[in-house]
């Protein structure tokens, strides 16, 4: 059987990441298993749109790289929905604009769809710290704070509740069944670092298609840049609080049972073990042990506080979100093809 065609969507919003964007696109073009196309979706930034259009003029003519404007409201979810609508691939993969993919990234994604039940395949995201090394106090259990795979995720190829949006792929029919990414949950440029839009989508997909299988393949690797500002404790605290706010919206959408299913195991098993390791390292005089244990405690408290505040706001109707609509485009043209 032939492998399915894959479109790659990279959402961009600021010229401050110009070199990162070019590196991300180059990593897609260097894949051992070529992408059908790379779509750069620009989030309401005319100067960046024009600059990228000039940069990739030659590649746009061939269709290898296409630059387009976000057709929806400002934010990552609407940008992704725009990319989905404009894409032609049977599989749509998403790559962060400040990440580079390893050479076999798409090959491992494509192999995951050999089983027709598989609706999504995610990969492993490795942090690249601006300082050159992980801050001694930063616990691996909280690497999701900087958009990376964290201690507690399964290894190898495993079924999961949801994939992580910056390194993920979906079968086109997943969006036909469940709709697009919800707007109002995820990020909007440099505003509060919210998230969970991919979690909400994956749970909604599993409800629409109960037989659907979602996979994590830790061989599909990308390397994600972590800037100096995100190595600081202030960002850690703000991001964990924002995660609580987002989880409250997810729970309101899909129910606390599904919305917090994975988080319960993470909170009751993974995090206590992390605290124990940190305290043990502190007793043994190893650098950062006490800091990691303390950071886990602060992260849990901040997320819990955000969840309470978010739940109250949602009940009052102060914060709302809606299931994203896929703008008019070639959705459905790709069809469902073969697999590896």
pLDDT digits (tens, 9 = 90+) for 76-113: 999 999 999 999 999 999 999 999 999 999 999 999 99
Band (322; pLDDT cuts 50, 70, 90): low
Q: Which residues are bridge partners to 91 per DSSP?
A: 6, 171
| Tens-place pLDDT, residues 245-254 | 888 888 776 6
Band (332; pLDDT cuts 50, 70, 90): very low
**Res 165: pLDDT:** 84
| Tens-place pLDDT, residues 105-142 | 999 999 999 999 999 999 999 999 999 999 999 999 99
Q: Is the pLDDT of residue 176 over 70?
A: yes
Instruction: List b or e across 292-330, with b for residues whose CB sees 16 or more CB atoms inside 10 angstroms.
Output: bbbbbebbbebbeebbeebbebbeeeebebebbebbebe
Band (192; pLDDT cuts 50, 70, 90): low
Q: What is the mean pLDDT of the chain?
A: 89
Band (334; pLDDT cuts 50, 70, 90): very low
Q: Is the pLDDT of residue 339 over 50?
A: no
List C-alpha distances in Å: 7 to 14, 67, 179, 195, 310: 22, 13, 18, 23, 35
Band (324; pLDDT cuts 50, 70, 90): low
| Tens-place pLDDT, residues 26-53 | 999 999 999 999 999 999 999 999 999 9
Q: Is the pLDDT of residue 323 over 90?
A: no
Look at the alpha carbons of 233, 234, 239, 244 in this order and tell me if their dihedral is positive or negative.
positive
Q: Per-residue pLDDT averaged across 139-161, rounded?
A: 95
With a CB cutoff of 8 Å and minimum separation 6, the contacts of 204 are 178, 179, 253, 254, 323
User: Which of 190, 188, 122 shows the shortest CA–CA distance to 160?
Assistant: 122
**Res 189: pLDDT:** 47
The answer, as to whether pTM is greater than 0.85, is yes
Q: Is the pLDDT of residue 173 over 90?
A: yes
| Tens-place pLDDT, residues 261-298 | 677 888 988 999 999 999 999 999 999 999 999 999 99
Higher pLDDT, 222 or 328: 222
Q: Distance between CA 153 and CA 149 in Å, rounded?
A: 7
Please report, rounded to a whole number, the percentage of residues in the chain having pLDDT higher than 90.
74
Q: Is the pLDDT of residue 340 over 70?
A: no
| Tens-place pLDDT, residues 207-219 | 999 999 999 999 9
User: Which of 41, 88, 43, 30 shows the shortest CA–CA distance to 63?
Assistant: 88
Q: Per-residue pLDDT averaged across 168-185, rounded?
A: 91
């Amino acid at each position: 059987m032939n492998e399915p065609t894959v479109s790659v969507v990279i959402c961009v919003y600021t010229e401050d990441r110009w070199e990162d964007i070019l590196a991300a696109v180059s990593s897609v073009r260097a894949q051992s298993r070529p992408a059908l196309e790379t779509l750069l979706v620009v989030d309401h930034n005319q100067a960046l749109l024009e600059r990228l259009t000039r940069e990739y003029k030659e590649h746009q003519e061939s269709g290898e790289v296409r630059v387009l404007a976000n057709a929806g409201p400002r934010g990552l979810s609407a940008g992704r929905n725009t990319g989905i609508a404009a894409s032609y691939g049977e599989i749509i993969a998403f790559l962060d604009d400040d990440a580079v993919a390893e050479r076999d990234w798409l090959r491992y994604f494509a192999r995951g769809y050999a089983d027709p039940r598989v609706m999504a395949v995610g990969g492993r995201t490795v942090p690249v710290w601006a300082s050159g090394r992980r801050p001694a106090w930063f616990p691996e259990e909280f690497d999701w704070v900087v958009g990376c795979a964290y201690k507690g995720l399964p290894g190898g190829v495993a079924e999961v509740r949801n994939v992580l949006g910056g390194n993920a792929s979906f079968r086109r029919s997943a969006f036909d069944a469940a709709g697009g990414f919800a707007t109002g949950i995820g990020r909007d440029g440099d505003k509060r670092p919210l998230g969970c839009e991919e979690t909400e989508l994956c749970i909604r997909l599993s409800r629409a298609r109960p037989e659907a299988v979602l996979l994590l393949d830790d061989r599909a690797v990308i390397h994600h840049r972590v800037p100096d500002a995100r190595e600081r404790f202030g960002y850690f605290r703000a991001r964990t609080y924002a995660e609580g706010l987002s989880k409250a919206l997810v729970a309101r959408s899909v129910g606390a049972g599904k919305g917090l299913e994975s988080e319960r195991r993470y909170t009751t098993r993974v995090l206590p073990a992390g605290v124990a390791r940190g305290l043990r390292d502190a007793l043994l005089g190893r650098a950062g042990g006490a800091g990691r244990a303390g950071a886990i405690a602060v992260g849990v408290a901040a997320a819990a506080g955000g969840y309470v505040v978010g739940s109250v706001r949602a009940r009052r109707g102060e914060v709302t979100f809606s299931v994203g609509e896929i703008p008019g485009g070639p959705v459905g043209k790709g069809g469902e093809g073969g697999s590896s």
